[in-house]
A and B are shown apart, each in its own frame.
Chain A
């Protein structure tokens, strides 16, 4: 491109930079300031109030447990889906479409879907009755059954959130050259070895993206929980929502927001370190 027009790219990115500065950078700084100030002076009061809150420890524990339970399962299912669909010729498009449907489903809708299955007179209890496991309606979503509620939320999250991981993984798998697999096959590598030694290392960038995106989203879990368990299962974003909307306390809500940001950022950095992507070694 000619040098006398070097201003063109800047002109093109300027609107988006201005927009993100106003609505991403500024609110980000505002949130941090809100969290660590009180009546306009720096103060740890909001953070202290957050930590003294009755739901604080529980919401941290719940959010982390959910993330730890959900993300690996989603990754495993996505890898299974990707491996399976690679062996299919005709019908591949239809299968992939069905598997990506949850991509368009909000967490709130996913919660409502599983509510219809898991409510007292729902399909899950009907199934258990039909199998003779259950004699009368059991309740899974109340505060008296925290473990069942945890599993219900995890299942709904796995149901909804696997699609995005699958899409990224399949996109990654599509870029693995055939020759690598064929060469490994010729040298006598079994299916399992090929998967661990060839495929998995080659789709590292996809794995990294999928894990970062999914983990950040998992720490944001909120509406699924609210639809299934109401206030019975406190999570971090839910607490931020309650402090803002019910208690009208923006400072403590911001403190929760900052905490969620720190956790997400830390998780991102850990993934970037743990799954090293060496551009030179990629096909």
Chain B
């Protein structure tokens, strides 16, 4: 509609050049995001020769999957990959199990202390939470949780739980209360009404929350590095071997960290803005 009003007031050439400017800006910003990922992929697939080829071209010459597979076969890589998956799995399970009920309570009930609870949740944002891993080393050694993926999963849940509570609150608010009340009228208990009516409607949103919890854990470096020695997650492993590993291994590691996240962000792209619209209130 705007384009039409402008086109009446000004010559068509002016409009199309503004359009052109807009789209070249958008294209430039897309390239700014995508080109570096493409280049690190070239680095990961180019092997040792690729790193020292000079000068480089941005064309995919001399690449193959072999260097990447060789990297995967390096001692510790596959294990740390599995550890990352495990820690992220624990984070997802715990943050949904603990966060979703809280989100439901915030969405449906008025209770004393609701504001204090929200304050507690928001307060966690003002702190660099990963730093809390420092004193936890001592407690975790005592509890036998040090250097385990459970320990890493627990601290990552501290990062993901507040987020899950706030986001699920918004999701449950989006499920009409009337539907639930109708189910009570027809004789469902509260639990039945929740699992038969509310849960299926909220499921896609909860799945998106789970994906976010996964990404938070998958990407976390500091706490994972401090809390593990032998059972490293992928980020912790890469960080510790960084200084002694050859360049193309570092690029392969970078690519391996990026790929799952890209897929996941694609999966939840529809929810991204709704989620942040809610949780930035």
Contact = CB atoms under 8 A, between A and B. Distances in A.
Contacts of B33: 98-99, 101-102, 159
B43 A116 contact: yes
A159 B225 CA distance: 24
Contacts of A43: none
Q: Which 6 A-B pairs have the closest CB atoms?
A: A104-B261, A112-B254, A106-B219, A30-B135, A171-B277, A12-B105
A13 to B, nearest CB: 5
Nearest to B260: A104
21 contacts: A12-B105, A13-B106, A15-B98, A15-B102, A16-B102, A28-B127, A31-B134, A95-B30, A97-B265, A101-B34, A101-B265, A104-B219, A104-B261, A106-B235, A113-B39, A121-B52, A159-B32, A217-B128, A250-B135, A264-B127, A268-B125
B30 A171 contact: no
B238 A104 contact: no
Contacts of B276: 167-168, 171
Contacts, number: 287
Interface of B: 2, 22, 25-26, 29-30, 32-34, 36-37, 39-40, 42-43, 51-58, 94, 97-99, 101-102, 104-106, 108-111, 113-114, 117, 120-121, 124-132, 134-139, 154-155, 157-158, 161-162, 165, 190, 215, 218-222, 225-226, 235, 238-239, 242-243, 247, 250-251, 253-254, 257-258, 260-262, 264-266, 269-270, 272-277, 279-281
Given A99-B30, A121-B51, A245 B226 contact: yes
B129 A167 contact: no
Nearest to A224: B221
A217 B130 CA distance: 10
Contact of A98 (B30, B101, B136, B215): B30
A16 B164 CA distance: 10
Nearest to B3: A87
Contact of A96 (B94, B130, B273): B273
